[in-house]
Amino acid sequence: MWNIKKIYKYSKDVFEDNHNLDKLEDDFGNARLNAYQGLIRQMTFPFGLGVLFEHRKKEKRPVLFGGSWNDETYVKEKVLPKLSDREWLQSLPPNTVGAHLGNLLKDWSLEELYDKRFLIGEKTRTAAGSKGNKLWSNLSSHMFLTHDIWHVLFRYDTTLFGEGLIQQITFRAIGMVPVAYISFIVTCKVAWRTKSLMPFKVLREADKLAKRANKKLLVANSPLYFLEQDIDEVRKKFDIGVPVEYIKWTQKYPNYYRGDTIHPEYADKEWIKAETI
C-alpha cells in the first residue's frame, strides 16, 4: 500500500492511455480495470476505514458484510443468472429498468464478464487479511452487479467519461475515496483532450445527484429489486434527477457520447425536456 511509484504509474495509465477515449468498446477493458484496481489497492489504507463508516447503517450492512440479498450463494444462483438472461431482460416493457439494462448488455454476457473479470480481479488480495478480503469481495461483487443498473438510472453512457462519472456515484455510495480520485483523473483527462472546463461542471453535478441517491439508500438493494420496475418511478423514489450539465455536454461534444443507456423504444421525457433548455 501507498507505493508512490505505483500510484503514479496507475494514475498516469488512467490519464494518458487512450483506452478508446471516444468510444469505449470494451466497457470492462483489462487495461483500465488493472489501473483502477491498482489505485484502489494502493490507497486502501486509511481510506478503507471510510467504507466501514459508510456501512454502519443496518440497511447497508449486507453490501459489505454479506448475507441477506448479498449472500454469495444467493448472488451466484439467483441474481447473476437473472442479470445474464438477456432474452428475458429484452422482453420486458421498454419503460422498465430491466429493458434498459437488456439493451445495454445486448452485445455481451454479464455472467461471462463476472467469470472473466470480477473473479480474476478478486484473486489479487489486499493487505487486510482473510476477513478484510471477504469484506472486499462482498463489496466489489455487489458494485460489479449494480454498476450497469446505475448507468441506466443516472443516464451516463459507457464512454470513458460516462464510466468516470459512475465512479463518482460509486464513491458516494460506498465511501471509498480512491474511487473519487479515479473519477477526478478521468475528468481531467477528458477536459484536457477537449480543452474544455465543462467536464468539471458535469462531475460536480454527478456528485450532487449521487449524494441525493445515497440519502435514499440506493446501494442497499439487490439488483433484482430494480429490474421489473418503471425506470422513472425508481428515479423518483431514489431522487435521481436529470443530469442537465451532462446533457449539455453531449450536445456540444457528440463524439464523446455513446447514448447506450437509454432504451431506443423509450421516450425519456425528462431528457428531451432538458435538451430544449
Whether the CB-CB separation of 262 and 271 falls below 8 Å is answered with yes
For 136-145, what is the mean pLDDT?
89
pTM of the prediction?
A: 0.85
pLDDT at 142 over 90: yes
What local confidence, expressed as pLDDT, does residue 46 receive?
Answer: 65
What local confidence, expressed as pLDDT, does residue 121 receive?
Answer: 47
Beta bridge partner(s), residue 213:
none
CB-based burial label for 265 (10 Å; 0-12, 13-18, 19+): exposed
Q: Please enumerate in sequence order all residues whose Cβ is within 8 A of that of 20, keeping only pairs 6 or more positions apart, or say none.
A: 26, 29, 160
What local confidence, expressed as pLDDT, does residue 29 receive?
Answer: 45
Whether the CB-CB separation of 69 and 82 falls below 8 Å is answered with no
Confidence category of residue 45, pLDDT binned at 50, 70, 90: low
For 126-137, what is the mean pLDDT?
69
Q: Where are the alpha helices (DSSP H) in 66-195?
A: 72-74, 80-84, 86-91, 97-104, 110-113, 119-121, 129-154, 160-174, 177-194
Maximum separation of any 2 CA atoms in the chain, in Å? 53
Take residue 190 and report the three cell numbers written for it.
Answer: 477528458
What local confidence, expressed as pLDDT, does residue 273 receive?
Answer: 93
Whether the CB-CB separation of 188 and 15 falls below 8 Å is answered with yes
Can you tell me the distance from the alpha carbon of 62 to that of 135, in angstroms, rounded to the nearest whole number?
Answer: 10
pLDDT 10s digits, 154-187: 999 999 899 999 999 999 999 988 889 889 999 9
Q: Of the candidates 36, 53, 41, 57, which has an alpha carbon nearest to the alpha carbon of residue 215?
A: 57
